[in-house]
Amino acid sequence: MAEGSMTRAQQVRSRRLQRREGSPLVERNGFGVGAHSVVSGPQMVARNPELDRRQAASSVRSRRPRYLKLGELGAELRLPVLPAVRVGARVISAALFLGCLALLYLMGFSSAFTVSEIRLQGAQRLEAAAVNTALRVAGASIFSIQPDELLEVLQTQFPELERVSVAVGFPSGLTVRVVEREPVLSWQQAGLTVWVDAAGVAFTPQQGGEGLVQVSAISAPPLMKTDQYGRHQLLRPEMVSAIKILSQIAPQGAPLIYDATHGFGWSDPGGWQAFFGQDGADIVQRMAVYRSILAELASRRLAPTLISVAELHAPYYRMDY
């Protein structure tokens, strides 16, 4: 149909159809009817989040109910329709954040994560009450415990511990495992008594102590160099070995003694002091020299006050008139 024979309404509908299909557009100019092509561009689509949300909510509200047919004729059961709930990333993040806050609160203030007492394992003489008093962690949060600091406190205040470890467990466990030193002698000096183990480490006497070798020190032994035991190291291990040897060869009932100049020895029941040096080296030769000196003095009917074999090749005796 020619455009001249169309009504105005038909012309408008024709133009709209041509715009949609991308066909050439026929327009009327002032001198007549002309036609030219119009290139249609890409269709612009605008998205509105609020509009999408409303459409989604409308689709949820417009859900049709479900009906379940029963066995009887004409009887139906209407089932409720639950809305489709969509959980977004923000809701999940908020839930995780709140959960973390609740967990942190429980970790910091809940009694479930509070240390009530210390479990002491491996101790024979050390009491758990003394360890609790030294560490002072009762009532503290388990997350504030520093095992290295507690380990240092135990090593400093309890030299009787040969090995010690601190283990933190959850929810509120604090375990201290120890290996105690075994004393071999009792050292008496200036009115004080300490126990000494085979390594020469001194510590405070505990319960028991029967059968330990008793040593009375006339003077203090040489100061030891700083080592892993620090101020608790009293004797060298060689000196402890010498004491054990002398305790086996000393006369019955003769107390062992120590002098910084002459070393270890004993107070003989005959009324003199015998010394054999700082360690147990060449003890067989020293005893042979000591017996020779005793025999010589007995043949001359002399009563010494001191016999020293601290220097194996330069022994001497002393007599006080």
Q: How high is the pLDDT of residue 35?
A: 43
Q: Clarify whether residues 172 and 188 are in a common domain.
A: no
d(CA 116, CA 139): 6
Q: Clarify whether residues 162 and 269 are in a common domain.
A: no
Q: How high is the pLDDT of residue 29?
A: 47
* pLDDT digits 0-9 by tens, 144-162: 788 888 998 898 888 889 8
> Which of 124-138, 171-185, 251-265 shows the highest mean pLDDT?
251-265
Q: Clarify whether residues 165 and 143 are in a common domain.
A: yes
* Domain hosting residue 124, numbered range: 114-180
Q: Clarify whether residues 224 and 146 are in a common domain.
A: no
The CATH number given to whatever domain includes residue 314 is 3.40.50
Number of domains in the chain: 2
* pLDDT digits 0-9 by tens, 161-182: 989 999 887 766 788 999 999 9
Contact 184, 240 (CB under 8 A): yes
**Bigger pLDDT: 62 vs 143:** 143
Q: Which of 132, 165, 180 is the last residue of a domain?
A: 180
In single-letter form, the type of residue at position 273 comes to Q
Q: How high is the pLDDT of residue 118?
A: 84
Asked if residue 71 belongs to a domain, the reply is no
Q: Average pLDDT, stretch 221-225?
A: 80
Cβ neighbours of 113 (radius 10 Å): 17
Asked if residue 22 belongs to a domain, the reply is no
Q: Clarify whether residues 163 and 193 are in a common domain.
A: no
Asked if residue 87 belongs to a domain, the reply is no
Q: Clarify whether residues 154 and 205 are in a common domain.
A: no
Strand partners, 248: none
Q: Which of 122, 154, 180 is the last residue of a domain?
A: 180
Q: Clarify whether residues 313 and 261 are in a common domain.
A: yes
Q: Clarify whether residues 205 and 172 are in a common domain.
A: no
Asked if residue 53 belongs to a domain, the reply is no
* Mean pLDDT, rounded, of the chain: 79
Q: Clarify whether residues 235 and 119 are in a common domain.
A: no
Q: Clarify whether residues 194 and 166 are in a common domain.
A: no
pTM: 0.62
Asked if residue 41 belongs to a domain, the reply is no
Contacts of 319 (CB under 8 A, 6+ apart): 302, 303, 304, 305
As given in the structure block, the two tokens for residue 215 are 């040593």
The CATH number given to whatever domain includes residue 126 is 3.10.20.310
Q: Clarify whether residues 231 and 121 are in a common domain.
A: no
Q: Clarify whether residues 253 and 161 are in a common domain.
A: no
Q: Which of 180, 197, 223 is the last residue of a domain?
A: 180
Asked if residue 1 belongs to a domain, the reply is no
Least-confidence region, from 14-18, 60-64, 136-140, 267-271: 60-64
C-alpha triplet 273, 275, 281: angle, nearest 5°: 160
